[in-house]
Structure 1
Amino acid sequence: MFLIGLQMDISYTKRNLRIASTIAYSGVIASAIFGASVSGFIIQKVKVTSDKYAFAIVLMLLLANSAAPVVIRLATELKFDTSNIGRLAISSSLINEISCALGLFLFIAFANWTKFKLAILSVFLTGLVIIVNKYLTIWFNTNSRNQKYITNSQVLLILLLIMALSMLIEYFGLYCTIPCFLVGLMFPRQGKTTRTLVHKLSFSVHEFILPIYFGYTGFQFDLNVMMTFDRFIAVVVLIMLSFVGKIVGTLVACYYQKIPLEKGVILSFILNLKGHVELLIIDAVPGFKIWWNRDVHNLLLAVIVLNTVIAGPVVSFILRKNEKYFAHKQTTIEFLDPESELQMASCVYAPRNASGQLGLMSAMHGSQEAPTTPYLMHLVELPKKSKTKNLMYQQLEDGDQFSDEKDFGGNAVLEINDSVDSFTAETKYFVHQIKVVSSFPNMYEDVCTRAEDLRLSIIFLPFHKHQRIDGKMEKGKDEVRTNNRNILRHAPCSIGILVDRGCLGFHNLHTADSKQHVAALFFGGPDDREALACSKRIAMHRHLHLTVIRFLPESSMSSHRNDDALQQNDEILMMSMSRSHDTEAAKDKAFIDDFYNRYVTPGQVGYVEKYVKNAEETISALIDIGDIYSLFVVGKGGRGHSTLATDINEEEECPELGSVGNLLASMDFDINSSILVVQQHTHSNKVLLHD
């Protein structure tokens, strides 16, 4: 429960608290009502003779609860934990489980005055551990600046505090589930301490502790307890009521929240998974009265096991049967509402890529109200031969048995981690870190697989060249360029390539005292629309001012729209495109008109139109504005037969940047601005139609 609290997506839960709470409590109430209605029947069938009221309450909690660890594990295994339905299921199960555990905690606490005093003491001790952990984390992070992780002794100290708290609360005769969850939930998220705890605990908990715990529980499962007719009927009735209660409650909540029926069915079954809290409920609490015999215990255990055994495969079957419906759909930004959540990833090959990519993610974060889920993906080349391959366990250096950092990533990992930590400390913007270790020929496959699993809308890649101190661009590894091209070709979402020239401080957005200027170049086509969609997010950043520069053929000036509001401003021009049967031209017109009405008219974004005859005049116009902006955002290509941009370079040095991006990044084009070249996912239209 500490690990679950530590890894909980707090921002998502806050944004969807009303929806998740409605679903969770609707299922709890419906299941509790069904449990209460049949409690007399079950008591009669299993022959409970004492503490019938307490048994009815336990029965209600048993049917109402959802096991968050099992839900999280199932969602991860079926790879829908990053989808909206998966995250909603996880949030709802957490609210459900914590509420049921809190109900049990209060039930025991109010059993007598002594228990109540011990409950108050437990709350005080939990708050004390939370405060101590806060200062310990600051101390450990400060004293581990030249280390990739905090030391094992430091990890042990934190775990000993949590274990001591748990054992003390259990000794009081109370449950430690909620205190441990709260300690993890309130634990500081940034820095090496949290990164180390997640790294150390995830494997041991999921691969060692939980399997042994559930395996031990499975050994107690005895089918002989169901051999009598009365007990068999009792088990069947409880299982049916558990499913019916969750289905009815969840579907009612989903109907109220306008959630589709298919998602409601998935939620109802996944929230019926049972786990460790139910096992705690039916087990005796130390120092508390036991109100049932062993046969009743085994009977309720059978209900818990069979519930999960049935619900898990049903969820898996529904997801695989409706794979297209629950598949990754938001593969572009053009069709994504600027106020909805953006899931994005920035790739880095070396520490020098980190500052630019972090600055870009900060720019895309826009305002504090625009939700984003950022991932920093460290791409590490797999060594041909591992140094620890032939070493015995006792010969491994400290940390090697748990970590591949020494061989995979080297000191680059430390520098990248430090960049992320300082960035998070200054901006309070939490970035999830991922490492992809693979050989370069296969690396793009791993990146694309991660992008699909994380349901990303865009991936940002660093350019294979980097800027030297003298301002010149130096060529990097050829494998990096090849990998970038492979990702561009196979990615399941849009791609942006960042040519980072940090001279104007674009990567220092969080420390800038004055606004920096960003230009979005629009020639037309899907890539330019995607670039302009990215610019919507950038425009909301408080340290950035966006100007859209639209290039139009000089011949189209005669069809300029006569609008009184526009005539009052000589610097801002708007023109309707000539009536054309071309689909892309119609999309460009609709997109730019909508953008103008939303952002230019209120004065949030600047807008300029430049009329040019040919590619030469386009180049001249770009030279004139080259030193004004710290970042240029432009689409890679896809502009049809437009000669304004496609004829700029007959021989492009870097085709992955497109004609305009290649010009801006070339050595001959003397500018200090960074360049972001965006390629829209080619299957976006199919996805939109499918939606």
Structure 2
Amino acid sequence: MQPFPFSSSSLDAILLFQGGLRLRLFADLEAGRPLLGKMEADMAHASARYQGTYSPVNLTYDAEICDTKGAIKIASDGLFLGDPSLDYPFPVLLLQLLLIAFTSRLVYAVLRTLKQPRVVCDIIGGILLGPCFFTHNLRFRARVFPYKSFGQLRTLASFGLMFKLFVMNVKLDPSIILRPGKKALSIGLVSILVPFGVQVGLSDLLRENNRIDRKLVTSSFLTFIAVCLSTTTYPVLADLLDELGLLNTELGRLAMSSSSVNSAVGWLLLVLYSAIELSGGRSITALHSLASCSGLVLFAVFVFRPCMRWIVRRTPRGGRVGGGVIMAIMSTVLVSGLVSDIVGATFIFGPIVLGLAVPDGPPLGAQLVEKLEMIVTEMLMPLLFLSGGLITDYSELADHDNISIANSTMWIFVLAIVGFVAKLVSTLVPAMYFDISPHNALLLGLIMNFRGMIEMAILLNYRSFKILDIGSYTVLILAIVLMTGIAVPLVKRYYDPLSVDYVVGRCSIEQLKPHAELRILACMHDEEAVPAIIGLLEASCVEGGNPLCVYALHLVEQLGSANANLIAHNNNKEFADPSKMGHLLNALVHYEQFKKGQVVVHPFTAIAPYKTMHQDICSLALHKSAAIIVVPFIINKDSTADADRAIRPIVPSAPCSVGILVSKNAGGSVLPIPGHFQQHMGVLFWGGPDDREALAYGSRMLYHKGVQLSVIRFVLANDHKDNEAIEKLKSENMNNEHLRVQEVVARDMEQTISAIRSIDTQFDLVIVGRQQSSSSLLEQGLAEWSEFPELGVVGDMLASSDFHSFASVLVVQRNGYGSK
């Protein structure tokens, strides 16, 4: 074992502790001050029964602490044999893990009503278990968190941190760092260089203050503080934006790109600082360390990454990587952590570099994330927050030795606040220069101030190097909690990715002129939806009129990646490259070629988590002024899957009408046969804005020679808007033999249901509004029986397996102004 950096007299004092007592002893031992008093010595003697790994101990070999060669016992024989479990390290570790897991979850349950993120709650949970709160009692602390357990806590926490950083960087795409774009590059550089310069300038003023502890105003210490507080770490930002559901928003993507530049510069500064500081100022040693780090980077780029790409190429589409390959990668991560620690770059540098070298997404990146993330995040990472909380001691801020430690640490806190404000302003100014609204620029500044796990790990690591004392460490942890605890709720409260003026942007089919261009955003996540979507597009194509404009959006679930993307496959000349698109989009492009100018298709791919995919859909519909969004809802598969639940947030937040296409028979030909397209469409009409929008869509299909439209009107009330819509349809198609209007008088709910069931084999496509007029009698009687509320009462009935029909169903909801 490595010798502990204590004198022989200090070792005698450690033996008195056995179970571990107040963390203030660390500072006493290092400074050579007298040890604790009689009460604490008695407490140490009371906990001397703690056996575990480190007892018995021989003080031999020039004051090294060495275990005897006897058997090591880590667990007890049981309470019934008079051998208490808490005298041994493994039961103590289990208890500690349970305490931090329970405490952090409890804090999260309380603070999430205040919109606090998980990482803030985890840090607070660790602090609550520290000496300032629950373990302030010496006897309780000596039993539950003995000094000897700190080693195993930090070891397991470091092991978890190493793999956590590896997994987080697996989910990142290094091309974002290499090709950030002019806007992100400018914001990223300015938002780290300006706060760093401001804090270094303030540090020069602090050195002239004689009331501040001289250890806290050294150039190396203040440089470390400035670098740490100026850097926005890319993985932490990705985690927090994902938790907020903003990862695939316009502001979220800009923040990720900017933070990639910011983080790269910050990590470079930290590596340089570590190499120089830990080498004791010896330039040759620092150069050796930097050269070794460069060697790790070269190995990752030219050896490890090509191997990972080879594995991806060898894995069949939809296949899984073998367990032996996963084990080899994990072993390489362990070796990289060992090598980077040996060369003085700390054990986290190697895993970070290797994580960036693994291609994100399926098959390899997604499988690594799937296998490692849960156990690392939920079981090992809580130990990091516990380790950090156990050395967070606000009693260390007390004054002593005629030096105002409280005054000194107050200035460190002021330095942190100045850094927060400087970063906010230095992000705000360049963002506004690039025509970002002041509201969003201010929110971007708050996002760039997000802090979390990595910052805490860095502080904990530098506390181990004695660069930070307990008081400084405590103040900086408090600053991290305050920065993130203030910034995250503000961003969550005031940023709405769809908060624009919809007066101009919102439109509906009912508002369009008969021969005006119809813009449809057609979404698909499964090949089974393609035939039904192409059939709907064919029926919507106005022969001899303006072309149908289709924005085809392939929805891809984000797996093993933190990079949410909206990819436009058309180049500047409006040509699509089929080699860069999936087979779903290629089917729509082939349909465009088949229609020979009557249909224009613009292919897109959205890669995002299903829970936030609606943001990409609604944003694209808004920017392209789409009249309707068509999303698939496949019934003959498990409709409770995430892919189907992803459409539910679209309905209330869309900037235009929404059509949910239920395909009960997903088979058949993809492309229609020229001259043989024959479809019988049915519109069920009760009244109300949704039904009028459904009627307007159905009436446009009458311009297709192969479409026959039947409108079944359920007469229940005399709404003048509904009457006008029916009369307008009749007058415009007075001589059109493809239109048939039927009125059904339904006096009660039973007659209404019977009339709906009578159409089971008449139509190829049934169009119905999501909500009917208040007088339809259906909402009160059938709402509680609906299996899919997003389809509405009638849509749910038509889509259910009890309705014996293979007709597709289009459920239409009109959004926007004038929909009431």
TM-score (norm 1): 0.54
Letter matched to residue 216 of structure 1: S
Deviation at 1:246, TM superposition (A): 1.1
In 2, are the aligned partners of 1:345 and 1:460 still within 8 Å (CA)?
A: yes
Structure 1 425/333 Cα, relative in aligned 2: closer, same or farther at 3 Å?
A: farther
* Matching residue within 428, 438, 443 for 1:261: 438
Match of residue 642 from structure 1: 729
Match of residue 379 from structure 2: 208
In 1, are the aligned partners of 2:633 and 2:662 still within 8 Å (CA)?
A: yes
Match of residue 313 from structure 2: 138
In 2, are the aligned partners of 1:89 and 1:270 still within 8 Å (CA)?
A: yes
Deviation at 1:125, TM superposition (A): 1.8
Structure 1 26/488 Cα, relative in aligned 2: closer, same or farther at 3 Å?
A: closer
Structure 1 13/260 Cα, relative in aligned 2: closer, same or farther at 3 Å?
A: farther
Q: Distance in 1 between matches of 2:374 and 2:534?
A: 28
Letter matched to residue 315 of structure 1: A
Structure 1 203/677 Cα, relative in aligned 2: closer, same or farther at 3 Å?
A: same
* Matching residue within 102, 105, 114 for 2:271: 105
Q: Distance in 2 between matches of 1:453 and 1:217?
A: 39
Deviation string 1:142-193 (CA, Å, 9 cap, x unpaired) is 4x96x6x434443222222223223312221115656544544443345432
Q: Distance in 1 between matches of 2:504 and 2:327?
A: 44
In 2, are the aligned partners of 1:190 and 1:421 still within 8 Å (CA)?
A: no
Letter matched to residue 226 of structure 1: L
Deviation at 1:263, TM superposition (A): 2.2
Match of residue 272 from structure 1: 449
Match of residue 299 from structure 2: 125
In 2, are the aligned partners of 1:282 and 1:300 still within 8 Å (CA)?
A: no
* Matching residue within 170, 173, 184 for 1:20: 184
Match of residue 290 from structure 2: 116
Deviation at 1:619, TM superposition (A): 5.8
In 2, are the aligned partners of 1:28 and 1:246 still within 8 Å (CA)?
A: yes
Q: Distance in 2 between matches of 1:291 and 1:135?
A: 40
* Matching residue within 12, 18, 35 for 2:199: 35
Structure of higher RCO (CA pairs closer than 8 Å, 6+ residues apart) = 1
Q: Distance in 2 between matches of 1:359 and 1:54?
A: 69
Q: Distance in 1 between matches of 2:173 and 2:551?
A: 12
Match of residue 91 from structure 1: 257
Letter matched to residue 121 of structure 1: G
Deviation at 1:64, TM superposition (A): 0.8
Structure 1 238/135 Cα, relative in aligned 2: closer, same or farther at 3 Å?
A: same
Deviation at 1:423, TM superposition (A): 7.6
Task: Verify: 1:173 aligned to 2:305, yes or no.
Answer: no
Deviation string 1:217-245 (CA, Å, 9 cap, x unpaired) is 22222212333333232223222212221
Q: Distance in 2 between matches of 1:676 and 1:647?
A: 19
In 2, are the aligned partners of 1:190 and 1:425 still within 8 Å (CA)?
A: no
Letter matched to residue 218 of structure 1: G
Question: Which structure 2 residues correspond to residues 34-73 of structure 1 after superposition, within 5 A?
Answer: 34-43=198-207, 47-48=213-214, 52-73=218-239
Task: Verify: 1:196 aligned to 2:360, yes or no.
Answer: no
Question: Which structure 2 residues correspond to residues 417-432 of structure 1 after superposition, within 5 A?
Answer: 432=607
Q: What CA RMSD, in Å, does the superposition of the two structures yield over aligned residues?
A: 5.7
Deviation at 1:81, TM superposition (A): 3.0
TM-score (norm 2): 0.47
Match of residue 247 from structure 2: 81
In 2, are the aligned partners of 1:496 and 1:676 still within 8 Å (CA)?
A: no
Deviation string 1:433-471 (CA, Å, 9 cap, x unpaired) is 868xxxxxxxxxxx8x87469867546215658xxxxxx
Q: Distance in 1 between matches of 2:292 and 2:607?
A: 39
Q: Distance in 1 between matches of 2:178 and 2:606?
A: 17
Deviation at 1:300, TM superposition (A): 3.8
Task: Verify: 1:684 aligned to 2:816, yes or no.
Answer: yes
In 1, are the aligned partners of 2:206 and 2:217 still within 8 Å (CA)?
A: no
Structure 1 301/106 Cα, relative in aligned 2: closer, same or farther at 3 Å?
A: same
Match of residue 220 from structure 1: 391
Match of residue 322 from structure 1: 494
Match of residue 154 from structure 1: 325
Letter matched to residue 241 of structure 1: V
* Matching residue within 297, 310, 318 for 2:469: 297
Letter matched to residue 460 of structure 1: V
Structure 1 98/123 Cα, relative in aligned 2: closer, same or farther at 3 Å?
A: same
Deviation at 1:137, TM superposition (A): 2.8
Letter matched to residue 642 of structure 1: L
Q: Distance in 2 between matches of 1:199 and 1:229?
A: 46
Question: Which structure 2 residues correspond to residues 611-650 of structure 1 after superposition, within 5 A?
Answer: 618=703, 620=705, 641-643=728-730, 647=739, 650=742
In 1, are the aligned partners of 2:275 and 2:290 still within 8 Å (CA)?
A: yes
Aligned to 2:311, the other structure's residue is in SS state: helix
Match of residue 575 from structure 1: none
Question: Which structure 2 residues correspond to residues 474-513 of structure 1 after superposition, within 5 A?
Answer: 490=651, 492-493=653-654, 494-495=658-659, 497=661
In 1, are the aligned partners of 2:297 and 2:353 still within 8 Å (CA)?
A: no
In 1, are the aligned partners of 2:506 and 2:817 still within 8 Å (CA)?
A: no
Match of residue 346 from structure 1: 524
Match of residue 229 from structure 1: 406
Aligned to 2:469, the other structure's residue is in SS state: helix
Deviation at 1:656, TM superposition (A): 4.7
In 2, are the aligned partners of 1:67 and 1:93 still within 8 Å (CA)?
A: yes
In 2, are the aligned partners of 1:82 and 1:453 still within 8 Å (CA)?
A: yes
Match of residue 252 from structure 1: 429
Q: Distance in 1 between matches of 2:609 and 2:216?
A: 55
Structure 1 281/165 Cα, relative in aligned 2: closer, same or farther at 3 Å?
A: same
Aligned to 2:358, the other structure's residue is in SS state: coil
Letter matched to residue 474 of structure 2: A
Letter matched to residue 193 of structure 1: L
Deviation at 1:32, TM superposition (A): 0.7
Question: Which structure 2 residues correspond to residues 440-459 of structure 1 after superposition, within 5 A?
Answer: 451=614, 457=621, 458=629
In 1, are the aligned partners of 2:618 and 2:650 still within 8 Å (CA)?
A: no
* Matching residue within 485, 503, 506 for 1:313: 485
Q: Distance in 1 between matches of 2:616 and 2:604?
A: 22
Deviation at 1:101, TM superposition (A): 0.6
Deviation at 1:197, TM superposition (A): 1.9
Letter matched to residue 202 of structure 2: V
Structure 1 115/15 Cα, relative in aligned 2: closer, same or farther at 3 Å?
A: closer
Q: Distance in 1 between matches of 2:649 and 2:240?
A: 32
Q: Which moved more, 1:451-460 or 1:226-235?
A: 451-460
Q: Distance in 2 between matches of 1:360 and 1:97?
A: 48
- Indicate the percent of aligned positions where both proteins have the same amino acid: 16
Gap regions ≥5 residues in structure 1? 337-341, 362-369, 379-419, 436-446, 466-475, 508-516, 532-549, 553-614, 624-637, 660-674
Q: Distance in 1 between matches of 2:386 and 2:766?
A: 52
* Matching residue within 157, 169, 183 for 1:5: 169
Letter matched to residue 182 of structure 2: R
* Matching residue within 358, 364, 381 for 1:187: 358
Letter matched to residue 130 of structure 1: R
Deviation string 1:604-629 (CA, Å, 9 cap, x unpaired) is xxxxxxxxxxx5xx464659xxxxxx
Aligned to 1:461, the other structure's residue is in SS state: strand
